Structure 1
Amino acid sequence: YWMFEETIKITDNSSDVAAARIREYLESKNNVLLNIAITGESGSGKSSFLNAFRDVEDDSEDAAPTGVKETTLEVKEYPHPNYPNIIFSDLPGIGTTKFPAKKYLKRVGFKKFDFFIIISADRFRENDAKLAKEIKKTGKNFYFVRSKVDHNLRDEQRKKDFSQEKTLAQIRDDCVKSLKDQGVESPQVFLVSSHDIHLYDFPHLRETLERDLPEHKRDVLLLSSPSIFPDIIEKKKKVFRRQIWGLTALSGVVAAVPVPGLSVGVDLALLVGAVTRYVTGFGLNVASLKRTASRTGIPYDELKAVLTSQLAAEHITHDLIMKVVLQVSSRAALMAAEEAFRFIPIVGIPASMALSAVTTYKFLKLFLDLLAEDAHRVSDKVLNKNK
């Protein structure tokens, strides 16, 4: 427990102080900054893509404006609604008088960006290729995204010999050829629809971005990804499961404070913080479920109806956690044993620490499993809506 003793030193006899320290610890794990740059010509679908990646509707208050003539003359930042430390930056178009290709990166402040996404609704043009070459010089990663492929497929469906696979291959080949002709080496192009993020190359793009990021930023991008993909849900679950060990050790350290009732209060504060992260990460909070309903066309009530945990679609409070905890009879016995062990000379505090760690681990794992199962139920509802 020594590393956590340095993180949280509780010398006050107040459970409020202990709870505040724990919240600080939990929040520190969510403060890794990720800044994503998105650029493209007017009409490329840049704003719709940005909104889809942030899991917000185009007509929501905090969405990037769509369907209007681009007038962006400076970098505009759009934080993720659940993770404000993830910032999507809408960059001005390249090649204008104010933003010529050679000076573009310097003027938009390229150093702060983790990677760049270059979007086009048709073939990538000379300025797109110039920008890619300039980004490459900085050592940062860039990705070509061909948007609105759903529009192309809809137009091609009128032909008698229509083949979705053939049409997508043709779009990809045309984009790659255009970039190669302009001197871009081995370009990779992702075909996406901002209205159907589970189709085409959107999942592959997400996996590629995740793989290319440094490890400490990989989890940040993962947790912000929409939880409509079963593999994403399982990856998120693994991230949260790894964090349980740290929280368990933290609970054990706090349990060493010999003040009756303090350990119980601190355990609840820890559980509230962790479960809130699970609910948000799996997209099971009310705001996220409503965004999913709006984006998919599935009524919110239908999505909520598939949930089985009392923790999903609720504001996580001490009372709610205690209500769920008390439904498991063994927990009350362990809490009582912890308080009793606390005042047994010599052996008492180590035993209390062990019991606190065991109970914390038990309930964090239980809550995580329940919420992951609910996330899978929502995913099944979304992915099978047209079947």
Structure 2
Amino acid sequence: MNKRFYYVRTKVDVDMNSESKKQNFSKEQTLEKLRKNCCDNLKKAGESSPKTFLVTRKDLGRYDFPLLYDTLEKDLDEHKRLALLMAMPTFSNEMLKKKRAAMEELIWMLASASCVGGLIPIPGLSLACDISILVGALIRFCKAFCLDDESLHRLSEKVGKPIKELKSAIKNTPMIKNITPDLVMNLLLKSTACVTLSLVELGLDFVPVVGSLFGGISSFAVTYFILHRFLQDVEVDAANVRAVAAQP
């Protein structure tokens, strides 16, 4: 079985800090020297054409980490690619855009699933399905954009800032522990369009065919609208957290 190997040289920032104290320091030459040294040693070990990536855990946006991610993204299948993307911290604006694009595709899938549930002619079932789908999706969005407690704690330790300071940048996104069916219901009630569609749907639940068709359409619209608006808030808050973390 053919396997791909990716060789990662970590703590490059330590080498760079050490070399920067020398006269005639050149960032490009130092990086090239590190890369060549890694490749030479790997070739001695029997690797004919090694791919070496220079990274630092302190700042994933520097050096070769973006290139490493792009390489993995090209080599992985669709499901593993999505899993990799969701596991990545939001270390750059480009990563935020990639996560947003992936979540927008997910919104269409979830809205379509909600539509299917809305077609079933059982009074109140589509609303229950919508709420269940929305709760799961909102939690997934928070985790994808690293706004969950675990991700914030890791970021706090990494940048040396109190987690309270990082959380202060989150203006619109609720903490995961607060994402419940009651919260989703409140989001629905705050939207005039969603309330109107839901009321009409409940009224038509007892009308054969028409009720089912409208139920599917309204469920799609409600799920899409709520998730799309929530995604916008999550992306903004994630960018705000990143900005606070980057402050000296």
Residues 1:324 and 2:187 aligned together: yes
Q: How many residues align?
A: 248
The amino acid that maps onto 1:213 is L
Q: Distance in 2 between matches of 1:346 and 1:223?
A: 40
Residue segments in structure 2 that go unaligned for 5+ positions in a row = none
Q: How far is the alpha carbon of 1:313 from its aligned partner?
A: 5.5
Contact between 2:8 and 2:53, CA under 8 Å: does it hold in 1? yes
Deviation at 1:223, TM superposition (A): 0.8
Task: Tell me if structure 2 keeps the 8 A contact 1:309–1:374.
Answer: yes
Correspondence for 1:287 among 115, 136, 150: 150
Q: How many Å separate the matches in 1 of 2:222 and 2:46?
A: 60
**CA-CA distance at 1:267 after TM superposition:** 1.1
Q: CA shift at 1:256, angstroms?
A: 2.7
Contact 2:121 2:205 in 1 (8 A): yes
Counterpart of 1:257, as a letter, is I
* 2:56 matched residue in structure 1: 193
- Deviations along 1:348-380, one digit per CA (max 9) or x if unpaired, are 211221111111111121112221221222223
Shift of 1:181: 4.6
**Cα distance in 1, alignment partners of residues 181 and 140 from structure 2:** 15
Tell me how far 1:306 sits from its aligned partner: 1.4
RMSD: 1.9
1:223 aligns with 2:69: no
Please give the alpha-carbon distance, in whole angstroms, between the structure 2 residues aligned to 1:381 and 1:308.
Answer: 13
State whether residues 286 and 314 of structure 1, in contact with CA within 8 Å, keep that contact through their aligned partners in structure 2: no
Secondary structure at the counterpart of residue 123 of structure 2: coil
Query: How far apart are 1:338 and its partner, in Å?
Result: 1.0
The alpha carbon displacement at 1:158 in A equals 2.1
C-alpha deviation, 1:220, in angstroms: 0.9
Give the match for residue 48 of structure 1.
none
Other-structure match for 1:346: 209
Q: Which residue of 233, 239, 245 maps to 1:376?
A: 239
3-state SS of 1:370 partner: helix
Among 164, 169, 173, which residue is 2:32 paired with?
Answer: 169
Pairing of 1:1-387 with structure 2 (within 5 A):
138-312=1-175, 314-382=177-245, 384-386=246-248
TM-fit CA distance, 1:311: 2.7
**Following TM superposition, where does structure 1 have runs of at least 4 consecutive aligned residues deviating by more than 4 angstroms?**
none
Distance 1:190 1:345 in 2: 61
- Residue 126 of structure 2 contacts residue 215 of structure 2 at CA under 8 Å; is this kept in 1? no
Give the AA of the match of 1:271. L
- The residue type paired with residue 187 of structure 1 is P
* Aligned partner letter, 1:232: M
Q: Which has the higher strand share?
A: 1
3-state secondary structure, aligned to 2:247: coil
Contact kept? 2:10, 2:55, Cα under 8 Å: yes
Distance 2:7 2:215 in 1: 56
| CA contact 2:121–2:211 (8 Å) conserved in 1 | no
CA distance in 1, matches of 2:44, 2:149: 48
How much has 1:274 moved relative to structure 2? 0.9
Is the helix fraction higher in 1 or 2?
2
Amino acid at match of 2:218: L
User: How far apart in 2 are the matches of 1:329 and 1:350?
Assistant: 21
Q: Percent identity, aligned pairs only? A: 37
Structure 1: gaps of 5 or more residues:
1-137
SS in 1 for 2:200: helix
Separation (CA, whole Å) in 2 of partners of 1:196 and 1:252? 42
Q: Distance in 2 between matches of 1:350 and 1:265?
A: 17
Residues in 1 aligned to 2:55 and 2:74: alpha-carbon distance in whole angstroms? 19
For residues 236 and 280 of structure 1, the distance between their equivalents in structure 2, rounded to whole angstroms, comes to 11
What are the superposed Cα offsets for residues 208-251 of structure 1, whole Å, 9 maximum, x if unpaired? 11221122211111111112222222112222211222211221
Cα offset, 1:314, TM superposition? 4.6
Shift of 1:339: 0.7
Q: Is the 8 A contact 1:278 1:368 kept in 2?
A: yes
1:175-216: CA deviation from partner (whole Å, max 9, x where unpaired): 223334554323221112233323221222122112211222
